[in-house]
Amino acid sequence: MSLFKKIRGLFSTDLSIDLGTANTLIYVRDGGILLNEPSVVAIRQVGNQKTVSAVGTDAKRMLGRTPGNITAIRPLKDGVIADFLVTEKMLQHFISKVHENNFIKPSPRVLICVPCKSTQVERRAIKESALGAGAREVYLIDEPMAAAIGAGLPVDEASGSMVIDIGGGTTEIAIISLSGIVYAESVRVGGDRFDESIVTYVRRNYGSLIGDATAERIKQEIGTAYPSDEVHEIDVRGRNLAEGIPRSFTLNSNEVLESLQEPLSVIIHAIKSALEQAPPELASDIAETGLVITGGGALLRDIDRLISEETGLPVIIADDPLTCVARGGGKALEWIDMGLDLTNHD
């Protein structure tokens, strides 16, 4: 590490970054969650030159509404980097955004949460990307471990804890005991797949095409994971594929539930698989205490009910599930300084 980076590090704050497919959250030590923005970058192309036009919320507004010379892209796909350079630029932007002092270029210690089943190449790409963005030191931690810490589970105790982190790109399932992951599974199904399923359902049943942003809004407003007597409705506008003109129609929560069956069944199958694989003692602990859900997927209505009914175990939703991973990463950073390193050293 260069001496210059060390000096700059004195003027930087430790960061825990949940580099998610949908959103990037940055937890600042002693400062809480300071940034929660969509992982979207808008690239403007002039001739052969490409420049970053907007990052985060501004860029997300451009998704699907860009002219020819601007491309709004999501540099992460399925929890891992799909576009290395754009991710680096995005991280650079976010890191400088959480540092108020712009006089000295920040060079913080950064802890990044990565999917537990990501490959060495994918982890390396994330690490290099953060170093390229100016980080002084980069630690990687498995997302379910960070989620468990953030949720407040007793990860360092000799008892099994099961956490399900339903993110934008992936769903991470892990059984944790004594500060280590006993079993982990990662399925590439998450909020994005829910959106895609809604888009597909609307196209198939209504003959209309809706965008990802509209599908996300439908999911957030009336999406449900378990049948309920209470039916919610929403007006949706999309382009009718037969007529080629915009049409309006009404979707209800049961239809959305139907559309989400396929991705939800993948998640349920992965949870059941994890429970089957759990050592008996840990399975006993989990049966007594239950499962904890974190991530944006935990906000889907009655997802806890669905998992509970399917597994027969108590299911609880973590406090502030969206920020669990980032907060857990922040705690892990503090623990590193205290002598307990839970990060990944592959």
Partner 1 sequence: MLELKLVNESGVSDQRGNLSAGQQLKKARLALGWDVAQISGRLKIPESYIHFLEKDEYTRLPNDTFARGYLLAYAKYMDMPIETVSKAYNQQTTPVPEKKARRFFLGKREVKASDPVVLWTSFIIAIACLALSVLWWQDQFEMDDISAVVSDQVSIKTADGKEIIENLSALPAKKSDISVQPDSGHPASDRQGDADKISTSSPLDTHDSTRPESELSAPGRQSITDFHTQGVSIQENILEVLFSDASWVEIKDARGQKLATGVKKMGEHLLLKNISFFDIVIGNAAAVKLSYNSAPVDLGTYVDASNVAKLTLGY
Q: CA nearest 54: which of 68, 73, 35?
A: 73
Instruction: Give least dist CB 174 to partner 1, A.
Output: 15
Query: Which tokens belong to 13?
Result: 């704050």
Query: Which tokens belong to 49?
Result: 């030159």
Dihedral pair phi/psi, residue 27, rounded to 5°:
-100, 125
Task: State which residue, 262 or 302, has the beta carbon closest to partner 1.
Answer: 302
Task: State which residue, 11 or 84, has the beta carbon closest to partner 1.
Answer: 11
Tell which one of 5, 11, 63, 226 touches partner 1 (CB under 8 A).
Answer: 11
DSSP helix/strand/coil, 250: strand
Tell which one of 199, 267, 318, 342 touches partner 1 (CB under 8 A).
Answer: 318
Tell which one of 151, 164, 173, 215 touches partner 1 (CB under 8 A).
Answer: 151
Report the C-alpha gap between 307 and 100 in whole angstroms.
42
Tell which one of 62, 66, 152, 299 touches partner 1 (CB under 8 A).
Answer: 152
Tell which one of 245, 338, 345, 346 touches partner 1 (CB under 8 A).
Answer: 338
Instruction: Give least dist CB 313 to partner 1, A.
Output: 6
Tell which one of 54, 55, 292, 326 touches partner 1 (CB under 8 A).
Answer: 292
How many residues bind partner 1 (CB under 8 A)? The answer is 33
| Per-residue x/- track, 262-291, partner 1 (CB under 8 A) | --------------------------xxx-
- Contact between residue 22 and residue 169 where contact means Cβ atoms under 8 Å apart: yes
Report the C-alpha gap between 7 and 217 in whole angstroms.
45
Is 154 one of the binding residues for partner 1 (CB under 8 A)?
Answer: yes
Is 312 one of the binding residues for partner 1 (CB under 8 A)?
Answer: yes
Instruction: Give least dist CB 177 to partner 1, A.
Output: 13
> 94 to 123, contacts with partner 1 by CB under 8 A?
109
DSSP string, 107-124: --EEEEEE-TT--HHHHH
Tell which one of 153, 222, 251, 270 touches partner 1 (CB under 8 A).
Answer: 153
Task: State which residue, 118 or 161, has the beta carbon closest to partner 1.
Answer: 161
Report the C-alpha gap between 267 and 262 in whole angstroms.
9
Give the residue carrying structure tokens 């209470």: 230
Tell which one of 84, 226, 249, 335 touches partner 1 (CB under 8 A).
Answer: 335
List the alpha helices (DSSP H) in 68-178. Answer: 84-98, 120-132, 143-151
> 170 to 229, contacts with partner 1 by CB under 8 A?
none
Give every CB contact of residue 141 below 8 A, 6+ residues apart in sequence: 111, 112, 113, 114, 328, 329, 332, 342, 343, 344
Q: Check residue 344 and report its DSSP letter.
A: B
Instruction: Give least dist CB 1 to partner 1, A.
Output: 14
Stretch that binds partner 1, among 192-200, 243-251, 269-277, 311-319 (CB under 8 A): 311-319
- Contact between residue 323 and residue 152 where contact means Cβ atoms under 8 Å apart: no
195: part of which helix (H) or strand (E)? Answer: helix 191-206
Instruction: Report the interface residues with partner 1, using CB under 8 A.
Output: 10-11, 13-14, 109, 151-157, 159, 288-290, 292, 304, 308, 312-319, 335-340
